[in-house]
Amino acid sequence: MGTCSIDHSHQEVVNKLDSQLDFLPSHLYEGAQQFLKTGLRQEELNELFHLLKKYDLVSMEERQMRNKQMEQLIKK
């Protein structure tokens, strides 16, 4: 993921997650929901937002890569 200078709010990340519900594996969606209920640093919010951004439009290979990154992030 490229670096972005925009800080995304908790609500923006929740909205982005909800917008990708139909495309994400259910375990990642549910895991991300739980992850968002914890106290997150801005860096973590931004990282999750960018993993979700345009998820529905990327190739299967890119999705698999993002899935792995998301799994690592939400396991923290």
**pLDDT tens-digit profile of 8-65?**
999 999 999 999 999 999 999 999 999 999 988 999 999 999 999 999 999 999 999 9
Asked whether residue 2 is assigned to any structural domain, the reply reads no
Give the model's pLDDT for residue 25.
Answer: 97
Instruction: Give yes or no for a contact between 13 and 42, defined as CB atoms under 8 angstroms apart.
Output: no
CA–CA dist 36, 58 (Å, integer): 23
Is the pLDDT at 3 greater than 70? The verdict is no
Asked whether residue 36 is assigned to any structural domain, the reply reads yes
Give the model's pLDDT for residue 6.
Answer: 86
Give residue 53's domain range.
10-74
CA–CA dist 66, 70 (Å, integer): 6
Asked whether residue 70 is assigned to any structural domain, the reply reads yes
Higher pLDDT, 56 or 5: 56
pTM over 0.95: no
